[in-house]
Chain A
Amino acid sequence: MAAQVDGAMAIVTVEGLEALLQAIQARGYRAVGPTLENQAIVYDDIESINDLPRGWTDEQDGGRYRLMRRSDDALFGYSVGPQSWKKFLHAPKLRLWTAERHGENTTVTPEASPNDRLAFIGVRACEIRAIEIQDRVLISDLYVDPHYQALRARALIVAVNCGQAGGVCFCASMQAGPRVKQGFDIALTELLDGGEHVFLVEAGSEEGHALLAPIPHRAASDDEIEAAAAVIERTASSMGREMRSDDLNELLMSNLEHPRWDEVATRCLTCANCTLVCPTCFCTSVEDVSDLAGERAERWRRWDSCFTMDFSYIHGGSVRASAKSRYRQWMTHKLATWIDQFGSSGCVGCGRCIAWCPVGIDITEEVRAIRGCDAAAEEPQ
């Protein structure tokens, strides 16, 4: 039987998913996906579905992440983990070029573009949206990041519709999920309730289609298609967080002197964790290093953040010296000025900045406080 074409749905079993993962690797992709490591579900190399966190889930809240056992064998029964796919596409640290002195001459060798073919297994709707946002920033304008572009162009995306919302998720508020709508090669919905553990699959590209074709599958019944829709519906209605988002640009930009900025500054550590875990934050800094003999120099790029003093250092000092001004920069950029700059919000509601803030500062709560509709949130914690 031929595989389903775009839009049509098929059912594969757990064994079928394993066959798909093997086919992806046989096609030359390096598969990376969720796996258990150090008491968390992180994205790393996987070879088989046995590497997936079968039967595990997570519990997340401001400044808190814990794993827990599920009562079933779900392979994707958790929400997003500590770091996003950004760590693969927009590397934390990258050498840009090397210069060497040979007597009178100096040679400069740019770092070669990577040619890895990455297959991202288990990408959530908010994460696809985040990748699209980084595409807009890094490769869709006058200046193109060749490293990102090389990896992105070859990357395969196997998406998963979320079967449950995490404690800090609010993708529904940001119109970024939980349903995967575009930007995938293959999309899965895990079905656990019908007595059989299966996946509803859909091809979203020719590559996805070609990969699915030889995998054993059957046509999805109307009941199964309905069951998958119900799973996503249930997820959408059980978001751990919520944030009204239609007026954020005006709200924040007309409240630049709101007292809440001073209050949050008493809690914010200016540690930068929120920006580094955020799947859309793209800021980097370059560092030049040279060796002792002055024969060799290298330029490195590394993740940076608007929470550091160096970030806004302009001759003689930092423009954003106070914690208040730095927190305000982060939040207004994510939720307001990003819209002017790139035509969309810089937030997809993944909740990482909430969970991985060491003191649990919650962007949705900060917005509520500025909106003034939650008197309780006005109280310092």
Chain B
Amino acid sequence: MERVRPKLAVWKFASCDGCQLSLLDCEDELLEIAGEIEIAHFLEATRASVEGPYDLSLVEGSVTTAHDAERIRDVRRQSRFLMTIGACATAGGIQALRNFADVREYTAIVYARPDYIQTLATSTAIADHVKVDFELRGCPINTRQLVEVISAFLAGRKPQTPPHSVCIECKIAGNLCVMVGHGTPCLGPVTHAGCGALCPSYNRGCYGCYGPMETPNAPSLSAWLSKLGMDYDALKRVYRTFNANADAFRKESERHDQ
């Protein structure tokens, strides 16, 4: 007897597609996922699309146009469980740098006919528009974590994606702390775990790809980073990457922006 498999939809908003690709990158598990879930709507993988409603929607990308702001409400209506994946969807992504500038200036630089461009002044997280049931952080998301959250969804259990600092992963991995040992600036103490402390494992400081951890204390870290030689402007920029619009990072960069 064929089991009724939950229906999965994957949606794209303003993004680079990297997070959706993570799903296709789950090579070993992809067939298994397809065995457990009906992939009903996933344009990156197939043009064939099954109509909603969907049991699980994975949403990639941020809201940057009025049209997207409408479309996400439609996605929400069709989705029983809506999960955002990646920094664009959870924080607005790198494109949220426009939030700190004049988007018309940007379009004037990039496009020959900026008047053809219809875009909002801001790039915002999906959760700023609709209720989100679960956020999976990262730029891009980690395939191991993606398989974990899908497995957890299927089993009806809590996914193991702890919101503590990257430092805990770093210590569990047995890394040398690059900040203490080498004097390399690192955002690990204020950054949400999930990558397995990838950069510190290769002797680089954390770039904050997973956004703020549960209780970030960025001002204290900034004070230390400046002792390590980071100047005021660098401190502004270090928080302005993929998660620039995440609350704690936005506030900290604005504090260094006169």
Interface residues of chain A, those whose CB is within 8 Å of chain B, are 37-40, 42, 63-66, 82-83, 87, 92-93, 266-273, 276-277, 287-294, 302-305, 307-310, 323, 355-360, 381
Q: Which of B139-161 contact A (CB under 8 A)?
A: 147-148, 150-152, 154-155, 157, 160
Q: How far is A357 from B221 in the complex, measured between Cα atoms in Å?
A: 11
Among B58-66, B76-84, B176-184, the stretch that binds chain A is B176-184
Judging by beta carbons under 8 Å apart, are B160 and A289 in contact?
Answer: yes
Other-chain residue from A82, A87, A272, A288 in contact with B177 (beta carbon distance below 8 A): A82
Distance to closest chain A CB from B15 (angstroms): 25
Residue of B nearest to A310 (CB): B162
Q: Does B164 contact A42, Cβ atoms closer than 8 Å?
A: no
* Cα–Cα, bound, A309→B180 (Å): 24
Chain A residue numbers with a CB within 8 Å of B160 are 287-289
Can you list 30 A-B contacts (CB < 8 A)? A38-B181, A39-B181, A63-B180, A66-B181, A82-B177, A82-B181, A83-B171, A92-B172, A266-B217, A266-B220, A269-B216, A269-B217, A269-B221, A270-B215, A270-B217, A271-B168, A271-B190, A272-B167, A288-B160, A291-B151, A292-B32, A292-B150, A303-B172, A309-B215, A310-B162, A310-B163, A356-B180, A357-B180, A358-B189, A359-B224
Q: Which of B150, B181, B189, B217 has the most CB of A within 10 A?
A: B181
Minimal Cβ-Cβ distance residue in B for A290: B155
Q: Decide: B186 and A358 in contact? CB cutoff 8 A.
A: yes
Contact B151 A290 (CB under 8 A): yes
Q: How far is the CB of A289 from chain B (nearest CB, A)?
A: 6
Q: How many angstroms between the C-alpha atoms of A92 and B196 in the bound complex?
A: 13
Q: A267-B220, A288-B157, A289-B151 are in contact. Are A39 and B182 (CB under 8 A)?
A: yes
Contacting B171 at CB < 8 Å: which of A64, A277, A287? A277
In the complex formed, the residue of B with least CB distance to A60 is: B180
- Is A323 in contact with B217, judged by CB distance below 8 angstroms? yes
Closest 6 pairs between A and B when the two form their complex, measured CB to CB: A271-B189, A276-B171, A269-B189, A92-B172, A271-B167, A271-B165
Q: Does B188 contact A (CB under 8 A)?
A: yes
Which of B35, B155, B168, B181 lies in contact with A40, CB distance below 8 A?
B181
- A37 to B179 CA separation, bound complex (whole angstroms): 16
The CA-CA distance from A273 to B216 in the complex, in Å, is 14
**Once bound together, how far apart are the Cα atoms of A238 and B177, in whole Å?**
27
**A358–B171 CB distance below 8 A:** no
Q: Which residues of B contact A381 (CB under 8 A)?
A: 223
Q: Closest CB-CB distance, B219 to chain A, in whole Å?
A: 8
B247 nearest CB across to chain A (Å): 16
Given A63-B224, A288-B157, answer yes or no on A272-B176 (Cβ-Cβ < 8 Å).
no
- Evaluate contact between B174 and A92: CB separation under 8 angstroms: yes
**Looking at the complex, which one of B29, B214, B221 makes contact with A292 (CB distance below 8 Å)?**
B29
Query: For residue B254, which residues in chain A have a CB less than 8 angstroms away from its CB?
Result: none
Please name all residues of chain B whose beta carbon is closer than 8 Å to the beta carbon of A307 when the two chains form the complex: 164
What would 11 more interface pairs be, CB under 8 Å, given A267-B217, A292-B29?
Answer: A64-B183, A82-B177, A92-B171, A92-B174, A271-B167, A294-B155, A308-B168, A308-B214, A309-B215, A358-B186, A359-B189
Query: In the complex, what distance in Å separates the CA atom of A151 from the CA atom of B223?
Result: 42
- Considering the complex, give the chain A residue whose CB is closest to the CB of B190: A269
- Residue contact B171 to A323, C-beta cutoff 8 Å: no
- In the bound complex, residues from chain A placing their C-beta under 8 Å from that of B29 are 292
Query: Do A292 and B164 touch across chains, with their CB atoms under 8 A apart?
Result: no
| Chain A residue nearest to B220 in the complex (CB) | A267
Contact partners of B186 in chain A: CB under 8 A: 358
| Distance between A299 CB and nearest chain B CB, rounded to angstroms | 11
Q: Report B228 CB to chain A, min CB distance, Å.
A: 9
Contacts of B168 in A (CB 8 A): 271-272, 276, 303-305, 308
- A6 shortest CB reach to chain B, Å: 36
Query: In angstroms, how far is the closest chain B Cβ from the Cβ of A93?
Result: 6
Q: Does B33 contact A (CB under 8 A)?
A: yes
List residues of B (204-231) whose CB comes within 8 Å of A's CBs. 214-217, 219-221, 223-224
A358-B217 CB under 8 A given contacts A290-B157, A292-B150, A305-B168: no
Asked whether, in the complex, the Cβ of A93 is within 8 Å of the Cβ of B163, the reply is no
Chain B: CB-nearest residue to A326: B215
Contact between B188 and A309 (Cβ–Cβ < 8 Å)?
Answer: no
Closest to A308 in B: B164
Would you give the shortest CB distance from A82 to chain B, in whole angstroms? 6
Tell whether B36 is near chain A: CB-to-CB under 8 Å: yes
List chain B residues, Cβ under 8 A from A309: 163-164, 214-215
A208 to B92, CA, bound (A): 62
Nearest-neighbor residue (CB-CB) of B186 within chain A: A358
Asked if B203 CB lies within 8 Å of chain A CBs, one says yes
Shortest C-beta distance, A240 to chain B (Å), equals 15
**Which residue on A lies nearest to B147, using beta carbons?**
A292
B163, B182, B215 interface centre (most CB from chain A within 10 Å): B215
B147 touches A358 (CB 8 A): no
